[in-house]
Amino acid sequence: MVVGLEAVLADGTVTRIKNVPRRAAGPDIRHIIIGNEGALCYITEVTVKIFKFTPENNLFYGYILEDMKTGFNILREIMVEGYRPSIARLYDAEDGTQHFTHFADGKCVLIFMAEGNPRIAKVTGEGIAEIVARYPQCQRVDSKLIETWFNNLNWGPDKVAAERVQILKTGNMGFTTEVSGCWSCIHEIYESVINRIRTEFPHADDITMLGGHSSHSYQNGTNMYFVYDYNVVDCKPEEEIDKYHNPLNKIICEETIRLGGSMVHHHGIGKHRVHWSKLEHGSAWALLEGLKKQFDPNGIMNTGTIYPIEK
């Protein structure tokens, strides 16, 4: 999506990566800057691709099913066959309670949207329907239900403000931790994380919702958002993150890395996943460490992000 960009290095040098459609002049240095989270440099300008916007061609598909494993298998078939829906999501029953109780209470939900050129959208939609039809346990729902969900998916300032009021009123918080994995391990990651939280987290009784959904799929795997809501009990506001979110985040990162996935799909490492950076990268950590030494030898750039603070 990013074609070229400009950044300022720790010593004040301005660097530009030119806008070209593709090149093979050494490693793709765009990604050194794109994913650096301010730990190596600051991005000051980006050039991105643009796409035709044709919402009148959008086609929506929704299905209810009993289990996540079937849903992962369907996602895999669709992606491996070469279809590229702009939306391909799989919600478990628990996470679905935030969106779909009016038509899928207690069920998992698969959602697809095909868009773009009308011929491409039509063929993509037909391909999805054909693959899902191989699974008789999946029941299609009215596409209008999915279109309504889509039209209300993004939050504006009003919804954010209302959520703050609700949190203060109820003391109930909600967070996510997103990861990724190959098709061969993603279901085990999902099952292992949910099971470990339910059996090991010392404040499991305070959790009011624990579930997840996949939102980004590829030919070789998918991501997983773990979503958890909990009542904040017997702690000060500043203690909440260490009592609840950080221990839950720890379980998710540990299980994902143990089973062969990545501890973060697109949110970045930040401050709260940095403890597992070396474990995430393994023997490749030396490459990432070398970038820090080269770009930020004095350690002044966003300390504690991506690179753990050495004690």
CATH number for the segment(s) 2-50+282-295: 3.30.465.10
Domain 55-151 grouped into CATH 2.102.10.10: no
Q: Look at residues 265, 266, 264 and name the one whose alpha carbon lies nearest to residue 249.
A: 264
Residue 311 confidence (pLDDT) above 80:
no
Tell me the pLDDT tens digit for each residue of 59-88. 999 999 999 999 999 999 999 999 999 999
Q: Enter the tokens of residue 215.
A: 């939102």
The response to whether 111 counts as a known ligand-binding position is no
Average pLDDT (125-147) is 98
Instruction: Please tell me if the domain spanning 2-50+282-295 has the same topology as the one spanning 55-151.
Output: no
Please classify residue 261 by burial: count the beta carbons closer than 10 Å to its beta carbon, then call 0-12 exposed, 13-18 middle and 19+ buried.
buried
Please name the helix (run of DSSP H) or strand (run of DSSP E) that holds residue 62, with its range, or none: strand 59-65
The response to whether 138 counts as a known ligand-binding position is no
| 262 DSSP 8-state letter | B
Tell me the pLDDT tens digit for each residue of 20-67. 999 999 999 999 999 999 999 999 999 999 999 999 999 999 999 999
Catalytic annotation present for 63: no
Residue 274 confidence (pLDDT) above 90:
yes
What percent of the chain is predicted at pLDDT more than 70?
A: 100
Active-site residue (options: 83, 225, 230, 244): 225
Rounded Cα–Cα distance for residues 213 and 224 (Å): 6
CA 37, 258, 241, 179 torsion-angle sign: positive
Fold for 157-258, please state it.
Answer: GMP Synthetase; Chain A, domain 3 (3.30.300)
The response to whether 30 counts as a known ligand-binding position is no
The response to whether 135 counts as a known ligand-binding position is no
The response to whether 39 counts as a known ligand-binding position is yes
Answer left, alpha or beta for residue 12, where phi above 0 means left and psi between -120 and 50 means alpha: left
Q: What pLDDT band is residue 140 in, cutting at 50, 70 and 90?
A: very high
The response to whether 43 counts as a known ligand-binding position is yes
Tell me the pLDDT tens digit for each residue of 107-126. 999 999 999 999 999 999 99
The residue whose two tokens read 């889509």 is: 150
pLDDT at 310: 83
The response to whether 38 counts as a known ligand-binding position is yes
Please name the helix (run of DSSP H) or strand (run of DSSP E) that holds residue 101, with its range, or none: helix 101-104
pLDDT at 295: 96
Q: Look at residues 97, 110, 111 and name the one whose alpha carbon lies nearest to residue 71.
A: 110
Rounded Cα–Cα distance for residues 260 and 278 (Å): 14
Whether the CB-CB separation of 45 and 5 falls below 8 Å is answered with yes
Beta-carbon-side half-sphere exposure of residue 137 (alpha carbons within 13 Å): 12
Residue ranges per structural domain of the chain: 2-50+282-295, 55-151, 157-258
The residues near 56 (Cβ < 8 Å, ≥ 6 apart) are none
Residue 239 confidence (pLDDT) above 80:
yes
Whether the CB-CB separation of 274 and 304 falls below 8 Å is answered with yes
Average pLDDT (203-227) is 98
Q: Share the mean pLDDT of the chain.
A: 97
| 238 DSSP 8-state letter | G
Q: For the chain, report the end-to-end CA distance as a whole number of angstroms.
A: 38
pLDDT at 155: 86
The response to whether 6 counts as a known ligand-binding position is no
